[in-house]
Structure 1
Amino acid sequence: MSATAAEIDDYLSRYAGTLAAFDAGAAAELWGTPGMILDDRSAGVLDSREEMARGLERSYPLYRKLGLASVGYERLSHEQLSEKVVLVRVRWLFFDADGAQLTDSFGSYILRRDDAGLRAFVCVPADDAEKIQDLAARKGIDLFDETT
């Protein structure tokens, strides 16, 4: 059975919800293992959901300081690569408590269906580091401050 747009949107909605709720455990459950983050700077593999959750939790103080309150998305495209594997391109939208857009970010994900449904196995973020740096600069936040 191939992934449908509705199934992909359900996955992305649940993932966005875990990010906005700062729920690292729930976000990690939406990943398969091992999970890989691959970008121009590095390639990293996380062998367990516990590692994934710890990595996400380390970013939460900064996201809170930046004012993140909710996350939305636009599914830009999806391509069925095999019966259970789909490539999804997403634009993430990050909002503050007043509903104003803080920034956005583009990424591509390779999702695979298992018994629990779709799970991410690879994420290729396109511009998230640059967008976070820009947002932090606009808000006067030093990303290299040890307390961030």
Structure 2
Amino acid sequence: MDTIEAELDDYLTRYAATLTAYDSRAAADLWGSPGMILTDRQGAGVLESREAMAAGLERSYPLYRRLGLASVGFERLGHERLSDAVFLVRVRWLFHDGDGRQMTDGFAAYVLRRGEEGFRAFVCVPADDAEKLQALAKEKGVDLFG
């Protein structure tokens, strides 16, 4: 593994840990500002500050808890250097229950920039999380909107 792969894996490990801990502030600190989520269906959402990112994450946590999410892991599927400091990273997120069983997964691509503080995400393109979240909720009998 080369140095950049180790740095990317460290970033993703820290990000997964913030999701496992439901630590919205720490997760938001791993983003640059503004941050953008770009999806096929909802279009583009821009979060102007880390506080807005943290608040958005906080709103999703009750659902994740009802689904039984206990830990998050990842597989880095690949990366591409776009410039000296900017990288495109493809990730498969792995979501586990309290017994360590994989509940579901999700694929996403991120545009990360490496700065003085290390890597920060500026764009996320989730590929299939909405569909997989709906399927998991249906399987578990959890109302996504209740």
- Alpha-carbon deviations, 1:72-120, whole Å to 9, x = none? 0000000000000000000000000100001000000000011100000
Percent identity over paired residues:
71
Q: Which residue of 1 aligns with 2:38?
A: 38
Q: Which residue of 2 aligns with 1:139?
A: 140
The unaligned stretches of length 5 or more in structure 2 are none
Give the paired residue count: 144
- Alpha-carbon deviations, 1:54-85, whole Å to 9, x = none? 00000000000000000000000000000000
Q: Which residue of 1 aligns with 2:119?
A: 118
Amino acid at match of 1:55: G
The unaligned stretches of length 5 or more in structure 1 are none
Distance between the aligned counterparts of 2:115 and 2:33, measured in 1? 11
Distance between the aligned counterparts of 2:142 and 2:69, measured in 1? 14
Q: Helix, strand or coil: the match of 2:122? A: strand
Amino acid at match of 1:19: L
Amino acid at match of 1:40: D
- Alpha-carbon deviations, 1:107-141, whole Å to 9, x = none? 00000011100000000000000010000000011
Q: Which residue of 1 aligns with 2:9?
A: 9
* Structure-2-length-normalised TM-score: 0.97
Q: Is the aligned partner of 1:94 residue 2:90?
A: no
Deviation at 1:4, TM superposition (A): 0.5
Query: Could you say what the CA RMSD is over the residues aligned between the two structures, in angstroms?
Result: 1.1
